[in-house]
Amino acid sequence: MLAKLMSLFLLGLVRVLTGAQARWYGCPPKAEQRIYFANHQSHADLVMIWAALPKELRSITRPIAAKDYWTKTPFREWITTRVFNAIYVDRARVGEQDPLEPLIDALRSGDSIIIFPEGTRGFADEPQPFKAGLYNLAQKFPNVVLVPAWIDNIQRVMPKGEVVPVPILCSVTFGAPIQLEEGEDRRAFLDRARAAVIALREI
């Protein structure tokens, strides 16, 4: 009950601060297994894209969260675990285990996921080059729909180093799905996926 109340509170707060507008171009919101991949400029990206999804999709879609940041306090950990049902990625243990393992487990169980293929926040107008994770997941799960998304303005709501959010109108634009083509190499696919995200900025 407490998690449900917190979910409603956060949803209302995010919509007041940002508008949390969802714009669907090329694909409708649909309860099918998907990997949403988006640009990454703020810790609030996770919250923004979660709030932009319709209720029926939020319940089946799990965002990726950096474990070192989102478990730093008991409150953050509780929110990401109980409200967002996030998948933790342990950046401190990269090299000791496959960082994709928790994502693979979630996809095998039928969940949709939200990932940020840059791997870390960027501060330029365009996303940094995408890392290999999206390509590897597309190889392992060819039937999962890959949906690009562009998160606009969220970095201005919570600039780096600030603790008080600033009300700014934001939006998430979801584009037409892409797929890994037969014989397509990793770099070509990742560059094409990144271009699909950037193209949504102009819509």
Extents of the domains making up the chain: 1-8+30-200
Give the model's pLDDT for residue 16: 61
Give the model's pLDDT for residue 94: 58
CB atoms within 10 A of CB 50: 24
Secondary structure of the chain in the HEC alphabet? CHHHHHHHHHHHHHHHHHCCEEEECCCCCCCCCEEEEECCCCCCHHHHHHHHCCHHHHCCEEEEEEHHHHCCCHHHHHHHHHHCCCEEECHHHECCECCCHHHHHHHHCCCEEEECCCCCCCCCCCCCCCCCHHHHHHHHCCCCEEEEEEEECHHHHCCCCCCCCCCCCCEEEECCCECCCCCCCHHHHHHHHHHHHHHHHHC
Give the model's pLDDT for residue 24: 93
Give the model's pLDDT for residue 30: 92
Per-residue pLDDT of the chain (203 residues; tens, 9 = 90+): 777 777 776 666 666 665 667 889 989 999 999 999 999 877 778 788 888 888 899 889 999 888 888 888 988 888 888 888 899 988 666 556 678 899 999 999 999 999 999 877 655 578 889 999 999 999 999 999 999 999 885 544 445 554 444 445 677 899 999 999 999 999 999 999 999 999 998 77
Give the model's pLDDT for residue 166: 45
CA distance 112 to 63: 9
CA angle 45, 50, 54 (to 5 degrees): 145
Give the model's pLDDT for residue 169: 60
Instruction: For residue 56, report the phi and psi dihedrals to the nearest 5 degrees.
Output: -70, -25
What six digits make up the tokens of 133? 């994770």
Give the model's pLDDT for residue 79: 86
Torsion of CA 142, 107, 102, 159, to 10 degrees: 90
Pairing of strands 21-24, 87-89: unpaired
